[in-house]
Amino acid sequence: MIEFLKAIAPVLQIIFVLICLGLIGLVLIQMSRHSGLGGAFGAGATSTVFGREEEADPKRTATTWFAALYMALAFLLAYIVSRV
């Protein structure tokens, strides 16, 4: 089992770095129109009564999946490092 963990750890670390870079990229390309100081107080939310439709944003969905994969791989890699 230890040999298997040693063999799979570098592959998981490469995937982890790729997910990290993807997550950084997704966060940076997200809607930046409201990212200024006024966005903290609701500026620009007048386009609709209830704000924009969050569920229809594919970048937000992808960010959620990348964040979940990031956390899962972080826990898995921590477990592997503690066993090796």
State the residue for tokens 């997704």. 26
Q: Summarize pLDDT for 33-62 with one digit per residue, the tens.
A: 556 655 556 555 555 556 556 566 788 889
Please name the amino acid found at residue 44: G
For the chain, what percent of residues have pLDDT higher than 90?
A: 49
Specify the pLDDT at position 84.
Answer: 80
Q: Which carries the bigger pLDDT value, residue 30 or residue 64?
A: 64
pTM, entire model:
0.71
Quickly list H helices, the chain. 2-29, 58-83
User: How far apart (Å, rounded) are the C-alpha atoms in residues 7 and 17?
Assistant: 17
Domain extent for 12: 2-83
Distance CA 12, CA 49 (A): 45
Task: Centre a 10 Å sphere on the Cβ of residue 19 and count the other Cβ atoms it contains.
Answer: 20
Number of structural domains (the chain) is 1
